[in-house]
Amino acid sequence: MSESADRPSRSFATLQVQAGFSAATAPAAAVPPIYQSNAFEFTSLAHARDLFAHRVDGDVYSRTANPTVAVFEQRIAALEDGVAAVGLASGQAAVALTLLALCGRGGHIVAATQLYGGTIDLLEDTLPDWGIATTFVDQDDIAGWRAAVREETRVFFAETVANPLAQVLDVTAVAGAAHAAGVPLVVDNTIATPYLQRPKEFGADVSVHSATKFIGGHGTVLGGAIVDLGTFDFTADPQRWPALTEPSRRVPGTSLADRFADSSPLIALIKAKYLHDLGPSLPASSAFALLQGLETLDLRMQRHSASARQVAEHLATHPAVATVHHPALPGNAWHRAARTYLPRGAASVFSIDLHSTGDPRADFDRVETFISALQVLRLLANIGDARSIVTHPASMTHSHLSAPQLAAAGITDTTVRLSIGLEDPADIIADLDRALALVCQS
């Protein structure tokens, strides 16, 4: 091919980098593709300048914006009926960045006692290093939520379905207490997912997810998401939220509340400051896998929920089991709340208590005998997988909690958490029965 003015000849080194692709003529794929690119080409220097100043939206660098991640963000926001979302590297990052953005320097959190152990570590051990304190209250004690409020309180935080005992949050009541205090309610909706509950319908303001769990669904990637449900007005008390309402160095000449009034100033703050500066980015390949999971979320949650109920009902009759903590069971303390907040089915993550001997060492041995005998259920530090999973919270996920904290969360040495997967429930029940028979013999 002869050389032309608009297509000059290129050397081998240039061709091996650039031949065969033009950003302007990328194909229109039917399935969201993996945009495995660190950075994105600008149409002009003026375009680049406007993107860096946040005057226009677009992709700059995959730490804060990637087209595959953007599809995931838009999809999870739509499923939660939110106004905007941000995808992150993990659920832990989602919780951390939400609380940092809302609390700022020296803020205060009121949080439920019934939380995942890693979240308690964050609230009790890490955020104090940032000058952020937390007061823990029983999630069902609405008067306790109100009494814990301080002048510097900036957020209420709880799980819609608590890990590991599946207590169901009275979202409407806690949201009412939060709003009376002038602060938003942030809920971790990981276990329920948007299919079993849309927290916005009950008054919550922000929903966070460990997308690693049911959203991904197959135990292959980590991911997190924050969804602004668009219900809290940060401009109503602007002095409480200076990072949102005062002029921002991230958006020169205006505030985030003004620049992003039609979308989400909160998500803009998280992306422009905390994600940009701290860097817990969701990889494009992980976003692609999470999108695949979202396409079957309703079908899988129906199966998870139905199988878990069947397993829970069976275990409630087993002589080796002292208690089954599943809100679908009529005798459960959160059964009525589940009927209100989980109308499509209760969650598939729940716990059981084996009978205690009164001797902690003997109790641990009985739990170890039970777990070691399981063949269908896998011993993993995860939930929401296609595979059924067993965990011992006191020595695993909640092992950093003190004895009083474990007691407040309802966790004992004989508590065993189950995450019921997509296997045949008859096989799961047979596996549990076989292992529990050994406990009865011990």
pLDDT of amino acid 401: 84
pLDDT of amino acid 397: 85
CA dihedral 143, 145, 146, 147 (to 10 degrees): 80
pLDDT of amino acid 17: 64
Q: Which amino acid is at 278?
A: L
Do 324 and 261 reside in the same domain of the chain? no
Task: Decide if 45 is inside a domain.
Answer: no
Do 288 and 350 reside in the same domain of the chain? no
User: What 3-state class would DSSP assign to 252?
Assistant: strand
Do 68 and 209 reside in the same domain of the chain? yes
Do 289 and 399 reside in the same domain of the chain? no
95 or 251: which leads in pLDDT? 95
Do 339 and 225 reside in the same domain of the chain? no
pLDDT at 297 over 50: yes
pLDDT of amino acid 408: 85
Q: Which domain holds residue 142?
A: 58-293
DSSP annotation of 322:
E
pLDDT of amino acid 440: 85
pLDDT at 1 over 90: no
Pick from 16-25, 85-94, 230-239: least confident: 16-25
Pick from 339, 41, 423, 252: nearest CA to 431: 423
Sheet containing strand 389-391, strands side by side: 321-325, 349-354, 415-419, 389-391, 378-379
Q: Where residue 11 falls among pLDDT bands split at 50, 70, 90?
A: confident
Last residue of a domain, one of 293, 310, 331: 293
Q: What are the φ/ψ torsions at residue 386 (nearest 5 degrees)?
A: -65, -25
Last residue of a domain, one of 293, 312, 342: 293
Residues 392-441 pLDDT 10s: 999 998 888 888 988 888 899 999 999 999 999 999 999 999 999 999 87
Q: Give the residue-averaged pLDDT of 18-29.
A: 72
314 or 29: which leads in pLDDT? 314
Number of domains in the chain: 2
Q: Give the residue-averaged pLDDT of 263-276.
A: 96
Task: Decide if 21 is inside a domain.
Answer: no
Q: Give the residue-averaged pLDDT of 280-308.
A: 96
Phi-psi region of 175 (alpha: psi -120 to 50; beta: other; left: phi over 0): alpha
The CATH number covering residue 412 comes to: 3.90.1150.10
Q: Give the residue-averaged pLDDT of 147-161.
A: 98
pLDDT of amino acid 55: 86
The runs of H, that is alpha helices, within 160-251 are 171-180, 193-196, 242-245
Last residue of a domain, one of 251, 273, 293: 293
pLDDT of amino acid 228: 98
Do 346 and 275 reside in the same domain of the chain? no
Pick from 158, 153, 179, 180: nearest CA to 170: 158
Rounded percentage of the chain residues whose pLDDT exceeds 70: 96
Q: Where residue 53 falls among pLDDT bands split at 50, 70, 90?
A: confident
pLDDT at 3 over 50: no
Tell me the pairing of strands 185-188 and 206-210: parallel
Do 381 and 268 reside in the same domain of the chain? no
CB 274 within 8 A of CB 102: no
Q: Give the residue-averaged pLDDT of 324-342.
A: 97
pLDDT at 132 over 90: yes
Do 229 and 329 reside in the same domain of the chain? no
pLDDT at 27 over 60: yes
Q: What are the φ/ψ torsions at residue 79 (nearest 5 degrees)?
A: -65, -30
Pick from 282, 277, 159, 116: nearest CA to 211: 282
What is the Cα–Cα distance from 196 to 43, expressed in whole angstroms? 43
Q: Is the peptide bond before 164 cis (omega within 30 degrees of 0)?
A: yes
